[in-house]
Amino acid sequence: MDQVAMEFLPKDPSEEEFRRALCNGFILCNVLNKVNPGAVPKVVKASMTSSEAAESPNQDSENMRNFLAAVKDKQLLAFETSDMEKGGSINKVVDCILCLKGYHEWKKAGGVGVWRYGGTVKITSSPNELPNALTATERAADESGEELELSKYEQLREFIQLSNEASIEESKTTNALTFLFDRFGLWLLQAYLTDGNMDEEFPLNAMVIDAFLSKIVNDFSTLLVSQGIKLGLFLKKILKADDGPVSKSDFIEATSDYIDKRNNLQAATGISKAYICIGNNEVVLNSVCRSPGRVEILTDLIQRHIEDLKLFFRETRLEVRKFHSYWEADIKRLEHHVRDLEVASSSYLKILQENQMLFNEVLDLKGKIRIYCRVRPILPGESKDQSTVDYVGENGSILIVNSLRKGKDSKKVFSFDKVFGPTVSQEQIYTNIQPLIRSVLDGYNVCIFAYGQTGSGKTYTMSGYDLNTKETWGVNFRAICDLFQISKTREDVIEYKVGVQMIEIYNEQVRDLLVIDGSTKRLDIYNNTQLNGLTVPDASWVPVSSTQDVLDLIRIGQKNRIVGPTAFNERSSRSHSILTVHVHGKELVSGTIFKGSLNLVDLAGSERMDKSKVQGDRLKEAQYINRSLSALGDVISALAQKSTHIPYRNSKLTQILQNSLGGHAKTLMLVHISPEPDAIGETLSTLKFAERVASIELGAARSNKETGDILELKEEITNLKLALEKKEAEVEQFKARTASSAKLRRSKFSSALIGKEISVKVPEERASRLGKPQSPTPPVRRYLSGDKGASTRNKVKFDVVENQPMSKVVVPVKAHGTRSLAPVPEITSTDNNSGVQADHKSDESKLNSLMHSTASSLGKVSQNLKKSSFF
C-alpha cells in the first residue's frame, strides 16, 4: 500500500479531515468492493495525498465517479460529487456510507429476509441478490440539519478503516499463500526425495502433484473464508451490539487485538514461508518478529502448522500408496487386456493370411488366370480434363465412362482381381505380383503377359522406362534380380541355377534377342508340353550369376527388339517379346529337383489399322500383330468354352504360350488401358477380352518337383523325345530328299533309255498292239509298276501287275514317254546309271541306321522306366 493509501482518517477527524480522506474516492471504492466484490471493477490508485486531492478534487474524480455510479447501480443511497466539496452536504455522504455498512451487515448475516435502513423497511431479497427496490432513506434527521453524533463518525471511521485493512490483508494473504504453496510443494518434494528412497515408493507425476496442491489450496481457501466470516461477525458485534454501542476505547482495543492476532497469523505464515525456504527457524523469527512475546506464539503456531503439514503429508503419502496399488492393479489388468488383444489380433491376422492363402489356393486349384488391370497416367500433351476412367475401386473394380454414349450405357463397371490406378508405382506393381514370381523357385511354371492397346503402357510395365533409374525398373528386371537374389539366400539348402532366354515373335518369325553379332536366324518352336523343357531350345540360354549379368542381358535384349513409330506411340513395340527365366534347383539333402520357368511376355499392341494410318512395312507388321492376337483370342475362347480342340498351332504366339494358357502354369494377365477418350473403343474391347480370359479355368497348377531318379528319367525321356522329334524331322527331310532324288534318277534312267529298245511283258491282248512300232510308249508307262524288274544290256524286263497271260514285247522308248510313277528299278547293266544306284543305297542305309539308333534309345528308356516303381 503506498503512502497515499496509507494516509488515513485521524483519530478524531474534523468534518474537513473526513472529507479530505474520502474525496479521491479510492477508499470508498475499496470499501464498496469489499462489501460487494467486483462492484467497481477498476480502482485507480490515488496519485496524490488527500490534502492535495482536496485542493483539486477533480484530479481523482474517476474513482469517485465510478463509486457513485456503482452505488446508484446497486440502488443504494448515493450523493453528489459536489457534496464532497467545501460547503457541500456531508450528511449525504455519511448517509451513503451508513447505508453501505447496513447493507454489508445484512449480507454478512445471510442476507435473508428484509433489510432495514434507518428504521424503515426498505427491501426483501433472496440471499444472493442485491436489493432491487431501495427507496430513499428516511432523511428527517439529515434534512433538519442536525449534527452527526461523534460516535456515529467513530463507527464510520472504524468501519471504513477495517474494511480497507481487511481488503489489504486479504490480498497480502493471497500473495503469501501462493508463495507458501509454491514453496511448500517444493519442500515437500525435497523432503520426499531425500527422506528414504521415496522416488521408488512414490509415483511422481504431474497428476499427483496437481491433486496434492489443489487439496492444499482448497483447505487454505476454506480457512480464509472462515477468517472473513469471523471478521464480519466481529464487526457486527462491535458495531451493533445488542447492549448498545460500544465505547470508542473498547472498540479500538478490540480492533487492535484482532489486528494483532491477524498479524501474528500473518507473521506465522511469513515465518513458515521463510522456514520452508531457509530451514532456520531462529534466524527468521528474529528477523521477522523482534517482539519476544510474540516469538513463543509464533513458534507454537509454526509447530502446529508443521505438525499439521506432517500429518497431512503422511495422509497424502498413504493415499498415494493406496492409489499406487490401485494403479498397479489397473496396469496389470490393462497389460492382460493388451496381451489378450495382441493374441486376438495376431490370430485375426493369421486368419486373414489363411483366408488369402485359401483364396489363392482356390484360384490355383481352379487354375484361374488372374487378371490385374493397370491404368496408364495421362501423358504430357494429353487433355487432363477428360479421362475415361471415372473410378478405381479398392476391390478390383473400375468404372469406365464412354462420352459417346448417353445415359445408362455411358458407364460400365468391370471387375478384376486387382486394378492399379494411374498413380501406382512400378514397385507397387511388382510387390503385388512378387509371390507369383517367387513360386518359380518352388518349381512352378509362371506366365505373366502384358496385354493392351498400343501406347497403353505394356512395355513401361514389363521392361521399365529407364534402366538407370531404380524407380522406373520394370517387372522383367525386378523379377530376375529377385529370383537370383532369393536363390542366393537359399544356397545353403538348395543349389539353384538361373538362366535367361529372350526371344521375340516378329512377323510370325521367332528371333533370338540375346545375340550380339546381329544374326537373325529363324528359330523353331518345340511342343514340349509334358515337362518344363525349352520351348525354343535353339535360342541363346544365358546363365546369370549377378545383378550386373541381368542388367547386361536386358540391355542387349531391349536393343535388339524391333520398335517403330505409330500414330499412338513414338516407340511402339512391333513384336511380341518373351523373356523366359529358367530356374533349376536341387535340394542338397534330399536330392529333390525343382524346375520352374517364368515367361514374361510383352505383347505387341493391338491397333486399329484405319486409326493408326500405317503403310508399307508398318502395315504388314500390324497385320501380323493383329492376326496373332486374334489367334490368342481364339485360343482363349476355346479354352473358356472347354472345347476339345484348342487352336494353339494357329500362331507362333499361341504355340509358345501353350504351356501357360493350357498347361499347369500359374498365369497372370496384366491388362493395360489408356485413359484417353479417343481410345475408348479399344479400352472397352480390351477390358471385355480380359473378362473372357478371367473366366478360363485351367485346372490346378503343378510344381515340377521330383526326386532325383524320377526327374532324371523324365529328363531322359524328354531328351529322347526331343531327339525323336528331331529324327522324325530328319526322316521327313530325308524322305523329301529321296523323293526328289528318285525323280532325278527316274529322269536320268528314262533319258538313258531314250532311243533304245526295252523288252516288257504285257498282257497278250496288248502285245500285238504294243508290238506295233507306231504306239509303244503310253501302254508301257501304265505297266511300269513293280520293283522286281531285272535288266539286261539295253533291255529292261518288267513284271506286269495283273495276273494275266503275258507275252514279251520289245518296244522302243521315246523321249515324251519317259515319265514313270513307279519306284526306280535297278539298272545294273547300264554304266551311266551306277551313280544313281549308289546314292539310293546310301540314303537307305542312312535311314535304316537312324531308325535303328532311335529304336535302341527308346528301348533303353523303356527298360529304365520299367525299373522305376513310379511307372
Residues placed in the known binding site for ATP: 452-459
Smallest gap from residue 563 Cβ to ligand ATP (A): 7
Site string for ligand ATP, 645-684 (x = CB under 6 A): ---------------------------x------------
Query: How far is 320 from 181, CA to CA, in rounded Å?
Result: 19
CB of 821 to ligand ATP, least distance (A): 53
Q: Choose between 295 and 604: whose C-beta lies nearer to ligand ATP.
A: 604
Figure out which of the listed residues 61, 269, 439, 569 binds ligand ATP, where binding follows CB under 6 A.
569
Q: How far is the CB of 456 from ligand ATP (least distance, A)?
A: 4
Q: How far apart are CA 525 and CA 146, in angstroms?
A: 137
476 near ligand ATP, rule: CB under 6 A: no
Sign of CA dihedral 357, 358, 363, 364: positive
CA atoms within 13 A on the CB side of 588: 7
> Distances from the Cα of 61 to the Cαs of 35, 91, 593, in angstroms?
21, 20, 109
Number of shown-chain residues binding ligand ATP (CB under 6 A): 19
Nearer to ligand ATP by Cβ, of 102 and 457: the residue is: 457
Binding mask 376-415 for ligand ATP (x = CB under 6 A): xx-x------------------------------------
Nearer to ligand ATP, 74 or 376 (CB): 376
Radius of gyration of the chain (CA): 59
Query: Between residue 210 and residue 269, which ones bind ligand ATP under the rule CB under 6 A?
Result: none
Burial class (CB in 10 A: 0-12, 13-18, 19+), 401: middle
Q: Which of 675, 563, 671 is nearest to 625 (CA)?
A: 563
DSSP letters spanning 774-840: TS-HHHHHHH---S--EEETTEEE---SS-S-EEEEEEE--GGG----SPPPP--S-GGGHHHHHHH
Cβ-based nearer residue to ligand ATP, 350 or 688? 688
**The binder of ligand ATP chosen from 30, 572, 683, 818 (CB under 6 A):** 572
**Rounded least distance, CB 525 to ligand ATP, Å:** 23
Name the residue among 650, 686, 646, 685 with its Cα closest to residue 662: 646
Nearer to ligand ATP, 416 or 460 (CB): 460
**Which residue ranges are tagged as binding site?**
452-459
The minimum distance between CB 601 and ligand ATP, in angstroms, equals 12
CB of 672 to ligand ATP, least distance (A): 6
Residue of 695, 684, 699 lying closest to 636 (CA atoms) = 695
Tell me whether residue 472 or residue 837 sits nearer to ligand ATP (CB atom): 472
Contact 699, 364 (CB under 8 A): no
Per CB under 6 A, which region of 521-529, 564-572, 763-771, 815-823 contacts ligand ATP?
564-572
The residue at minimum Cβ distance from ligand ATP is 605
CB of 616 to ligand ATP, least distance (A): 17
Contacts of 110 (CB under 8 A, 6+ apart): 127
Alpha-carbon distance of 319 to 646, in angstroms, equals 86
What's the CA gap between 163 and 854, in Å, rounded?
130
Q: Is the Cβ of residue 2 or residue 610 nearer to ligand ATP in the bound state?
A: 610
Measured at the alpha carbon of residue 804, what is the angle toward residues 801 and 809, in degrees to the nearest 5?
A: 80
Closest separation between CB of residue 466 and ligand ATP, Å?
A: 9
Q: Of 584-613, which residues contact ligand ATP (CB under 6 A)?
A: 604-605
Question: Minimum CB separation from ligand ATP for residue 448, in Å?
Answer: 15
Report the alpha-carbon distance of residue 182 to residue 312 in Å, rounded. Answer: 16
Minimal distance, residue 570 CB to ligand ATP, in Å: 7
Min dist. Cβ of residue 612 to ligand ATP (A)? 10
Quote the cell numbers at residue 414: 468391370
Site string for ligand ATP, 615-634 (x = CB under 6 A): --------------------
Cβ closest to ligand ATP, residue 139 vs residue 571: 571
Residue listed under C-alpha cell 500473518: 266
- Among 254-262, 395-403, 569-577, 758-766, the segment contacting ligand ATP (CB under 6 A): 569-577
Applying CB under 6 A, which part among 82-90, 140-148, 568-576, 733-741 lies near ligand ATP? 568-576
∠530-533-537 over CA atoms, to 5°? 135
Q: Which is nearer to ligand ATP, 181 or 465 (CB)?
A: 465
Q: Report how far residue 796's alpha carbon sits from residue 813's, in angstroms, rounded to the nearest whole number.
A: 11
Q: What 8-state DSSP symbol labels residue 537?
A: T
Contact 577, 513 (CB under 8 A): yes
Site for ligand ATP in 362-381 (CB under 6 A): 376-377, 379
User: Do 20 and 54 form a contact (C-beta atoms < 8 A)?
Assistant: yes
3-state helix vs strand vs coil in the chain, percent to 5:
55, 15, 30
Residues 448-467 that bind ligand ATP (CB under 6 A): 452, 454-460, 465
Write the Ramachandran bin of 119: left for phi over 0, alpha for psi from -120 to 50, otherwise beta.
Answer: left
Closest CB to ligand ATP among residues 443, 457: 457
Residues in the site for ligand ATP, rule: CB under 6 A? 376-377, 379, 452, 454-460, 465, 569, 571-573, 604-605, 672
